[in-house]
Amino acid sequence: MSQLKTPMKSHEKYVIIHLDLDCFYAQVEEVENPKYRDLPLGIQQNQTISTVNYCGRIKYKIPKMTRVKQALEMCPELIVIPARMEIYREESRKIFDECIGECVNSFHGDCVLEVCGIDEAYINVTDEVNWRLENATELGIDVKDHRGRKVSKSVNSQDNHLNIGSQIAEEIRCNVFNSLGYTISAGIAHSKFLSKLASKKQKPNGQALIYSESFDEEINSQDVSIIPNVGYTTKQKLAELCQISTVKQLRAQTYVNIIKCFNSDKAAIKVLNIANGKFDEEYDRVVSKGPPKSIGSELTFLTIQTYEDFEQKLRTITGDLFTRIQRDLKRNSNRYATKLTLRYCHGSYRDPYHSVSCKITSNIYNNLNNYEEKDESNIHSLVIKMFKQKVSLPFKLQRMGVSVSDFVEPPKFATPKTSTIGTSKIVNEEEKREGNLLSSFSQQSSNTNKKRKADSVSNGSQGRQTSITSFLKNKGASPIKKTKQ
């Protein structure tokens, strides 16, 4: 396949900045305690070093996601600090919502900030770039690029637009550092994909831009895994079935040759298009995401093999989950989750997750939000029942997480008299795709003089029925405290 000389032609109107906080967890500790800056520092989550500062990365070659024992063998002087996720989330909020958010709000036109996770964000600064170019002469503004070179207004090239975008990126980075003390690496390009690629070129505490004419040079030597939707499994398939390991080799293939490595035609087409610089409008749109679509907590640990160990780890997860829900309620008090999901993994972080979920009513979520011990026991019991129905002894687990999702507004709920479960369905996400329900739990009420009975649920081809009676106690619904941020 011939290489494109001018990829992204239809989207060169965009100027997109990708911001990446440098080794963020470790940097939070360094900002709080500057003596760590010149010492090897690792942040521990369970039995893994999730983040290493640049002293540990460069001098001692310690990669992230290394087991603690192995990291200490590589560097006996390594300082290991337990992760403080609540602190990291709060610092992330200050950086993106307050500091960078204020910068974006001061820009002209419709500039959009899209926060991705805890330490990354995209900003579409196209309108601000256009305003600066249009008003440079009239307002006497001396417009310069990131290297301090004056940008001539007489040459209205797309490169000049990126140069101005680079200037804006430097202003944002300086503002964050001067205000909060954090360093950020940035990438500037005409697409989200290339801007993220560019932000990796000058780490840490640097920035780079990629011009359209440099696309081939920048992309060809990259590992194929930099393409979105090419994960560990797909990368292995491309190597084994097509002898593809670099983007250049991928670009030389046709759609017909690589389709066998993907789960769908659509995925194969998308990957090949991105490799050749063909980005559609939807892909490059920077969107302010608003409230998170799910709230969850996850743990990685040494292998557990008993239900007792599972319950112990689960209680840690649910406790953290409730804390996150409380924080979300302060910001988004007018919504409720209707789905509870358990995810678990039998192997390393590269192995796939399995999941099982159930519907929850407003009553369960009401109690969950108020975070009382009795409510934790309710959710705790529900997750345990889901797990035991899906996983039998013997088993080995190294990761698991619990989340709530599928948020709706309060008017969609009927106001109940008591905090009964209503109808809850446990769904195996894998079997759901095949059109089968793993199981369903239900409780029905007739009147105050009749007992609540649990419906029996057929279990597919096995022909056996499982009856589960009120697995949560009926309690009065507690009012939700709504707090304006």
Q: What percent of the chain has pLDDT over 90?
A: 34
User: Cis before residue 76, ω within 30 degrees of 0?
Assistant: no
- What per-residue confidence (pLDDT) applies to 470? 36
pLDDT digit string, tens, across residues 362-398: 666 655 555 444 444 577 788 998 999 888 888 888 8
State both tokens at 138.
């009239």
pLDDT digit string, tens, across residues 5-23: 334 444 567 899 999 999 9
CA angle 191, 195, 200 (to 5 degrees): 155
| Pairing verdict, β 79-82 and 41-45 | parallel
- What per-residue confidence (pLDDT) applies to 364? 63
Q: What does the alpha-carbon distance between residue 14 and residue 269 come to, in Å, rounded to a whole number?
A: 23
Q: What does the alpha-carbon distance between residue 153 and residue 157 come to, in Å, rounded to a whole number?
A: 9
Alpha helix positions (H), 261-372: 265-275, 281-284, 307-331, 362-370
| Greatest distance between any 2 Cα atoms in the chain | 85
Give the residue among 217, 461, 272, 474 at the shortest CA–CA distance from 364. 474
Is 265's pLDDT higher than 90?
Answer: no
Of residues 433 and 202, the one with the higher pLDDT is 202
Are 168 and 259 within 8 A, CB to CB? no
Across the chain, mean pLDDT equals 77
Q: What does the alpha-carbon distance between residue 436 and residue 445 come to, in Å, rounded to a whole number?
A: 27
Q: Is the dihedral of CA 235, 239, 244, 250 positive or negative?
A: negative
- What per-residue confidence (pLDDT) applies to 363? 64
**Could you tell me the domains of the chain?**
9-214 (3.30.70.270), 224-284 (1.10.150), 294-467 (3.30.1490.100)
Let me know if 130 is exposed, middle or buried by CB neighbors in 10 A (0-12, 13-18, 19+): middle
Q: Is the dihedral of CA 223, 227, 232, 233 positive or negative?
A: negative
- What per-residue confidence (pLDDT) applies to 27? 97
Q: What does the alpha-carbon distance between residue 275 and residue 251 come to, in Å, rounded to a whole number?
A: 6
What's 460's DSSP letter?
G
- What per-residue confidence (pLDDT) applies to 16? 95
pLDDT digit string, tens, across residues 301-356: 878 899 999 999 998 898 888 888 887 877 777 788 888 999 998 765 556 778 89
User: Cis before residue 410, ω within 30 degrees of 0?
Assistant: no
Identify the band that residue 298 occupies on the pLDDT scale cut at 50, 70 and 90.
Answer: confident
Let me know if 113 is exposed, middle or buried by CB neighbors in 10 A (0-12, 13-18, 19+): buried
Region 74-85 average pLDDT:
95
Are 322 and 297 within 8 A, CB to CB? no
Element (H, E) at 301: strand 294-304
pLDDT digit string, tens, across residues 97-140: 889 998 998 898 889 999 998 999 999 999 999 988 887 755 45
CA angle 96, 174, 85 (to 5 degrees): 35
- What per-residue confidence (pLDDT) applies to 170? 94
Is 176's pLDDT higher than 80?
Answer: yes
What's the alpha-carbon Rg for the chain, to the nearest Å? 26
Q: What does the alpha-carbon distance between residue 250 and residue 227 come to, in Å, rounded to a whole number?
A: 10
pLDDT digit string, tens, across residues 439-461: 333 333 333 334 433 343 333 43
Identify the band that residue 61 occupies on the pLDDT scale cut at 50, 70 and 90.
Answer: very high
Sequence-distant (≥ 6) Cβ neighbours of residue 472 within 8 angstroms: 364, 378, 381, 382, 421
Strand spans (E) along 39-129:
41-45, 48-52, 66-67, 79-82, 112-116, 120-124
- What per-residue confidence (pLDDT) applies to 71? 94
Residue 465 burial (CB count, 10 A):
10
Residues counted in the chain: 485
Q: What does the alpha-carbon distance between residue 301 and residue 295 come to, in Å, rounded to a whole number?
A: 21
Q: What does the alpha-carbon distance between residue 402 and residue 384 come to, in Å, rounded to a whole number?
A: 11
Chain centre distance of CA 268: 23
CA distances from 366 to 103, 222, 316, 375 (A): 37, 49, 20, 9
- Give phi and psi for 163, each to the nearest 5: -60, -45
Region 165-171 average pLDDT:
93
Q: What does the alpha-carbon distance between residue 238 and residue 261 come to, in Å, rounded to a whole number?
A: 6
